Amino acid sequence: MSLMNEIHYELRRQKLLSSLEEGVIILASASPQTRSNDTEYPYRQNSDFYYMCGFREDNSLLVLVKTKEFSKSILFVEPYNEEHALWNGSRLGVEKALEAFSVDEVYDIHTYSLLIKEILRDHIALYIDLFDDSSWILQAKKSAKELHETRGVKRHIKAMYDVTHLIRTQRLIKSHEEISEIKKAIDLTAKAHHKAMQISKLGMHEYELQAHMSYVFQSNGTQAESYGAIVAGGNNANTLHCVDNRDILRDGDLVLIDAACEWELYASDITRTFPVNGKFTEAQRDVYEKVLDVQLEIIKAMKPGVKRDWLQQYSEELLCQALIDLGILSGERKNLLEANAHKKYAPHGIGHWMGLDVHDPCPYVDDEGESLCFASGMVMTVEPGIYIRADDVTVEEKYRGIGIRIEDDILITETGYENLSSAIVKSVAEIEAMCKS
Ligand code: GLY
Ligand code: MN
Ligand code: MN
Which residue has its alpha carbon closest to ligand 1 atom 4?
269
- Catalytic (active-site) positions: 38, 241, 258, 269, 348, 352, 359, 383, 387, 405, 407
Calculate mean pLDDT across residues 356-379. 96
- Nearest C-alpha to atom 5 of ligand 1 is from which residue? 359
pLDDT by residue (tens digit) across 53-88? 999 999 999 999 999 999 999 999 999 988 888 888
Confidence class of residue 89 from pLDDT cuts 50, 70 and 90? confident
Q: Give the Cβ contact number of residue 426 at 10 Å.
A: 23
Express each pLDDT in 90-124 by its tens digit.
899 999 999 999 999 999 999 999 999 999 999 99
pLDDT of 178 reads 97
Ligand 2 center–CA 75 separation, angstroms: 34
Task: Look at residue 67 in the predicted model and tell me its pLDDT.
Answer: 95
Mean pLDDT of 185-205: 97
409 CA distance to ligand 1 centroid (A)?
11
Instruction: Tell me, in angstroms, the distance from the centre of ligand 2 to residue 223's CA.
Output: 20
How many Å apart are CA 317 and CA 68, to the nearest integer?
52
Q: Report CA(155)–ligand 1 centroid distance (Å).
A: 47
- Answer yes or no: is pLDDT of 242 > 90: no
Ligand 1 nearest-atom number relative to CA 269: 1
CATH number for the domain running over 6-171 = 3.40.350.10
| Residues with a CB atom less than 6 Å from ligand 1 | 227, 258, 269, 358, 383, 407
Distance CA 29, CA 238 (A): 37
Domain 176-436 has CATH 3.90.230.10: yes
314 by Cβ neighbours in 10 Å (0-12 / 13-18 / 19+) ranks as middle
Confidence of residue 154 (pLDDT cuts 50, 70, 90): confident
Q: What is the rounded average pLDDT of the residues 257-274?
A: 98
Cβ atoms 146, 117 nearer than 8 A: yes
Nearest Cα residue to atom 3 of ligand 1: 269
C-alpha distances (whole Å) from 208 to each of 129, 212, 242, 431 are 40, 6, 16, 19
pLDDT tops 90 at residue 4 = no
| pLDDT in the model for residue 3 | 87
| Count of beta carbons in the 10 Å neighbourhood of residue 253 | 24
Task: Give the Cα separation of 357 and 362 in Å (integer).
Answer: 10
Please give the average per-residue pLDDT across 205-214, as a whole number: 97
What are 294-329's pLDDT values in tens digits? 999 999 999 999 999 999 999 999 999 999 999 999
What average pLDDT does this structure show over 39-50? 96
Identify the pLDDT of residue 152.
Answer: 83
Query: 75 vs 166, 290, 318, CA distance in Å?
Result: 20, 52, 50
List the domain boundaries for the chain.
6-171, 176-436
pTM over 0.85: yes
pLDDT band at 5 (very low <50, low <70, confident <90, very high): confident
